[in-house]
Amino acid sequence: MDGAEEAGYQTEKYILNEMNYSGCQGCNHCKTADECKIDDDLTGLLEDIREADAVVFGSPIYFFLFSGQFKLMEDRMYSFIDPGFNSRLAPGKKAVIVTSQGNPDLSAFEKAADDFAEVLKFLGFEVVDIIRMVNGGAPDAVLARRDLLEKARAAGRAL
């Protein structure tokens, strides 16, 4: 986000773990309306994604996958798809995906971010970068990784 702010972009940060929201209920209300029927803390985030030119998505990897909190948000992004399975989002959006995992093997959980990148591409996003942190078990582990911090800053500027 620092890089995006340095480039003059307005940013908004959402911490899913601090929000109160539900996952998709499969009601398909969003196929007859342009939005999810559920009105909770995720409503504003989904609207901001819809309005944004670029989005940075981040999640820790827990047992091979993005966090449960992230998956609930991802499922609610189903509301961005119309009844004909086309994206309702404006074309030209850019995205960066950031992951953190405790496992030191960079390739161990690549599939999690790669699969989400496919979701974003289906929605019309250009995935500018995927930034993967390994040995990220401690909350502040990334602070010792100046290379990743600079890569993240550069990705933010590129948005």
What is the structure's pLDDT at 140? 81
Note the pLDDT tens digit of each residue in 89-105.
Answer: 999 999 999 999 989 99
CA distance 16 to 18: 5
The whole-number average pLDDT for the span 11-29 is 97
The third-level CATH classification (topology) of the domain covering 2-158 is: Rossmann fold (3.40.50)
Q: Examine the pLDDT at 17 and tell me if it is beyond 90.
A: yes
154: left (phi over 0), alpha (psi -120 to 50) or beta: alpha
The answer to whether 97 and 131 are in contact (CB under 8 A) is yes
Gyration radius (Cα) of the chain, Å: 16
Q: Examine the pLDDT at 38 and tell me if it is beyond 80.
A: yes
Entry pTM: 0.93
CA-CA distances (angstroms) from residue 6 to 1, 11, 92, 154? 9, 11, 21, 10
Antiparallel, parallel or unpaired: β 65-66 and 126-133: unpaired
The whole-number average pLDDT for the span 69-87 is 98
Please give the sequence-ordered ranges of beta strands (E in DSSP) within 1-159, or none if there are none: 54-62, 65-66, 94-100, 126-133
Sorting pLDDT into bands at 50, 70 and 90, what band is 23? very high
Q: Examine the pLDDT at 135 and tell me if it is beyond 90.
A: no
